[in-house]
Amino acid sequence: MNTTNNTVLITGGTTGIGLAMARALSQLGNRIIITGRNSSRMNTLLRENPSWVGYLFDLAQSEKVGDLAETVHRNHPDLNLLINNAGLQLAIPFPDTAQSPANLRQEMEVNFHAPVHLVQELLPLLLEKREAAIVNVTSALGEVPFSRFPMYSASKAALSAYTTALRTQLMGTSVRVMELVPPLTATDMNAHRPGDKMMPATLANIFIKGLQKNLSVNRAGKAAVLHRLHRIAPSLSSKIIEKGA
């Protein structure tokens, strides 16, 4: 796919991986639209990047995704690249009887239901374009789950399976469907986790190279190593994840 002169919507674009993607794509001459929950951070970014457009939006309220999509349809009819990046990761000990159904649903709403809903709402707009793409950011934990983050792992596995199915359904159209699988990355969400972490800017560069090559699945760094290991020694890959590597 061409990596310049696109109109790009990035969810979770005010920090971490999403922000690194926004910066990298902006430098290549793309029009950037970001969503985020933190108004102070959003305002700072928009002051620093006056060509960007930002919308405050909490994907945990997946029932309001239609409102966001309507705004995008109205204000950005030239949209041709959707990046579902926003994510939520919570440690959930199942033996803890204090776990509420709302807690268990929250990650599925942000990490799975909201991206699927947003794709469904924006797909007609994307199909109008000569060249368009949907990029879903999943996780290595979607393939090798980490018991500390059970719902995060499950939601990313669901998003990965959905991405594969959507790609097949859209074959022969102008819309490519891609999956970016990051390794452990140096973001606020992973600040508490030990181990070597890929910098978001490095991941953004890997993403752009994959976008240029139309990679259906782009496994970055240790995510690619873990994928290969899991195919031949799944118990070993699980042990590595459980040790926090």
pLDDT for res 232: 95
Residue-level pLDDT at 194: 52
Residues belonging to the active site: 152
Q: Which residue has the tokens 């890997």?
A: 206
Q: Which helix (H) or strand (E) holds 34?
A: strand 31-36
**Cβ contact 241:155 at 8 Å:** no
**pLDDT per residue rounded down to tens, the chain (245 residues):** 999 999 999 999 999 999 999 999 999 999 999 999 999 999 999 999 999 999 999 998 878 899 999 999 999 999 999 999 999 988 888 876 666 777 788 999 999 999 999 999 999 999 999 999 999 999 999 999 999 999 999 999 999 999 999 999 999 999 999 999 998 876 656 556 656 778 999 999 999 999 999 999 999 988 989 889 999 999 999 999 888 74
pTM for this prediction:
0.94
Superfamily for 7-242?
NAD(P)-binding Rossmann-like Domain (3.40.50.720)
Q: What is the number of alpha carbons within 13 Å of residue 110 lying toward its C-beta?
A: 23
Supply the pLDDT for residue 190: 57
